[in-house]
Amino acid sequence: MAPTPRSEDQTRGRRREAWQTPVMATLVLTVIGDDRAGLVDALAGPIARHGGNWDRSHMARLAGKFAGIVVVSVPDERTDDLTAELDTLTAQGLLDVTVAIAANDGPTDHDDVLELRLIGQDRPGIIREIAGALAQRNVSIEELETSASSAPMSGELLFEATATLRVPASADPAGLRAALEAIANELMVDLDVTDRRDAGQRNARR
């Protein structure tokens, strides 16, 4: 019996299935280990072997440790296999890796994004005061980087912080700025808060 010829639509449908993009899962990896050469390569290898993509990361050497956070997209059906291989890095004593499924950020189109920069003499409680003012106004800290270094002339320890803040539409940006400026005056630090869009426009004109 001769095989039934396939229709053109059936052929196209099979081609679409063959080239269909796999469903991707987004994972957030937190990593820490004793600083040594090759740690990033040890982490990137399993991700690549399981068809994953290294999307975004923040990594640094801190007090003799190498620590960071990495956002990875990987085919959904490979998630368990990737997690299992990452667990071997912990077993080998290279990196402690924690894997979490990324959450949906939700709509943020109407939120304001502000950039905060702070510098002043180091003292306990600076971040606590700033974070408390932000939390009271439901402001989220999207990114935070801090460092301490010796001042060039005096040698005193200077504390620096930069942060990206997401301010909900229900918040009062002017009130937030006033509260942060009051804290800066009390702590005797220099603090600047700018709208990210304004900063981008200034950089574009340079």
Question: What's the whole-number mean pLDDT along residues 119-140?
Answer: 94
**CATH number for the domain including 31?**
3.30.70.260
Q: Is the pLDDT of residue 98 over 80?
A: yes
- Identify the domain boundary among 101, 125, 152: 101
pTM above 0.75, yes or no: no
94 and 150 part of one domain = no
What pLDDT shows up at residue 5?
56
CA 206 and chain centroid, separation: 28
* 89 falls within a domain: yes
What average pLDDT is seen over the chain?
86
What pLDDT shows up at residue 89?
94
Expressed as residue numbers, the domain containing 179 is 112-205
Q: For residue 107, give both structure tokens.
A: 């709509």
Alpha carbon distance 67, 204 (integer Å): 33
User: Taking each helix axis from N to C terminus, what angle separates 39-49 and 79-91, rounded to the nearest 10 degrees?
Assistant: 150
119 and 195 part of one domain = yes
41 and 82 part of one domain = yes
* 200 falls within a domain: yes
Is residue 112 very low, low, confident or very high in pLDDT (cuts 50, 70, 90)? confident
Q: What are phi and psi of 128, to 5 degrees?
A: -60, -45
Alpha carbon distance 6, 195 (integer Å): 60
118 and 200 part of one domain = yes
- Identify the domain boundary among 101, 136, 168: 101
* 181 falls within a domain: yes
What percentage of the chain carries pLDDT values higher than 70? 83
What pLDDT shows up at residue 169?
86
92 and 118 part of one domain = no
Is residue 18 very low, low, confident or very high in pLDDT (cuts 50, 70, 90)? very low
19 versus 70: the higher-pLDDT residue is 70
What pLDDT shows up at residue 14?
55
Question: 94: helix, coil or strand?
Answer: coil
What pLDDT shows up at residue 171?
85
122 and 93 part of one domain = no
- Identify the domain boundary among 101, 121, 146: 101
* 179 falls within a domain: yes
- Per residue in 142-172, pLDDT tens? 999 999 988 787 778 999 999 999 999 888 8
136 and 197 part of one domain = yes
What pLDDT shows up at residue 151?
78
Contact residues for 152 (Cβ-Cβ < 8 A; gap 6+): none
HSE of 96, CA atoms in CB hemisphere, 13 A: 6
Count the domains in the chain. 2
- Per residue in 35-86, pLDDT tens? 999 999 999 999 999 999 999 999 999 999 999 999 999 999 999 999 999 9
* 55 falls within a domain: yes
79 and 159 part of one domain = no
Alpha carbon distance 117, 37 (integer Å): 32
